[in-house]
Structure 1
């Protein structure tokens, strides 16, 4: 009896440790906490959506795209962007974009950007003119109205509507539009320059008649002739008339 006791104890210990190790091996690994989500990148979003090649090029050349991504890196920042398609740009008059200055191109892109997040159901709450990142003055008016589920907008030169949602995440909303929003401050026809004032009439030269001899009559009826500034008086003629 004394000899079998250690073997029995050892067997119990072996079973105990084997059971414990099995429980530990089967325990689930602790879940890793997810890191902060990366901010949205407007270049990646538009590239993935397709049909925004011209807009992406314009965002890069004006650096407005970089400014948008910089703003979105702050989780408190909100933006709404109206994205014209390649067809929208192709419908512009040939050479329109090339005729704009660098500053006008920046203002054009910023005119499509609203500094707040607006869902499709909240456009009806906006007050006109809507403030954009370009300006809300009379030169850059953007008026937005709704009709049922349709969102319409006008710049005074262009009327269009939202044709679809490209992206929305409660911080950034990108909506597709089929026309480029053309603000009055850049595309309004300019008044023609006033015509130059007519030239003043030239002073007329003295006529030849003013240089010819001028007959003059004095109080006595005598006639004299003024030639080259010298006046001869017909006094002798007067005396001859008296004595005749």
Structure 2
């Protein structure tokens, strides 16, 4: 006789089939956020960011990051590797398999050979991009690149584990690899001046070329650079204000249009908020706010709001956007507000509850809004306003004098 499971149990089993077949849902991780809670790993975290390796780690699942602390990173930093060679070395520390603390101490046959993100790039020859993990005496676990042929570091402790998704562990030293440290030629340096000049931003490019700001721009390309380039019409309208700036002011304004990290359009849409620029020197200096409205992205200063209208190039680590207005920082420009006419002094105000007819409907339209233009650019209506105010005072005084005469005449009749 066959026994069938209750209907409710069968329903539970059927509802669990997708989970059983596909496994638990993958939880997104952010290696920068994880390491930010461990100040002693700030140098390692910093170089993951500027080499853009952090972004690549965040898109992968089932990985192990072998982090080294600030003291261990000092020897590597002192080698002054290019940003590309540094990325190769750090890629060697990202294993393409999950190794939590338990798995490390249960390595089959005492050792395991695992591929790394460096090997996945196709740059290393042979097996140079692999790391050997060895179960050592005394319960220690060793790590060494195949390139070095020896144990370079040992397991210290676990920093973060999200089972079978990401493991972040502390190892004692940087893994050695002559291939990873070898000089690496990065992508061809883009001539940003030529690119902007031939794509509708010649005025801005010419101003940049004539300033020391151009060195700031080119010096930041390798580590990541985002440029917001005003279109020719926008910069032409701004030219009179630009000419009035000092040499230092011009350089600051030009550097204000660059951000020292790579930010694609999709990244800008998902990272609204304050952003530092190449001109930033200290907190709350020369920053602006990024805000998106659907697919549109705007750059807002306290003086002007500009919109991204196009992309000249987007090839990591460089992206150049075109914008429809020149970005004006509050450190160089002040918002000038057009004031409404000043009302008559209270001493001359009517004493009765009713308002004289001549004062009603005096201003049929609301006060003028705040203006960004300089006083010299605004229409001069001061004389007309002053004349109107003078007439109001005369009428008010006449009303008060008339009331006084009537009150005396009434008193005389009563007597």
* TM-score bucket (shorter structure): 0.5 to 0.7
- TM-score, normalising length: structure 1: 0.57
Q: CA contact under 8 A between 1:111 and 1:132: conserved in structure 2? A: yes
C-alpha separation in 2, matches of 1:137 and 1:100: 23
Matched ranges for 1:1-244 at <5 A: 37-49=187-199, 51-72=200-221, 74=222, 77-92=223-238, 95-126=240-271, 128-135=273-280, 137-189=283-335
1:167 is paired with a residue of what secondary structure? Answer: strand
Aligned-pair Cα RMSD in Å: 2.2
What do the CA deviations read for 1:193-220 (whole angstroms, capped 9, x no partner)?
xxxxxxxxxxxxxxxxxxxxxxxxxxxx
C-alpha separation in 2, matches of 1:55 and 1:36: 27
Moved more, 103-112 or 124-133: 124-133
Shift of 1:133: 1.2
Shift of 1:154: 0.8
Q: Name structure 2 gaps, 5 residues minimum.
A: 1-184, 338-415
Cα gap change, 1:56 to 1:156, in 2 (>3 Å):
same
What do the CA deviations read for 1:59-91 (whole angstroms, capped 9, x no partner)?
11112223322332x3xx100000001111122
Q: CA contact under 8 A between 1:140 and 1:155: conserved in structure 2? A: no
C-alpha separation in 2, matches of 1:167 and 1:109: 19
Which portions of structure 1, spanning 4 or more consecutive aligned residues, are displaced by more than 3 angstroms? 136-139
C-alpha separation in 2, matches of 1:185 and 1:65: 21
Q: Name structure 1 gaps, 5 residues minimum.
A: 1-34, 192-244
C-alpha separation in 1, matches of 2:197 and 2:202: 8
The count of corresponding residues between Structure 1 and Structure 2 is 152
- TM-score, normalising length: structure 2: 0.34
C-alpha separation in 2, matches of 1:36 and 1:130: 27
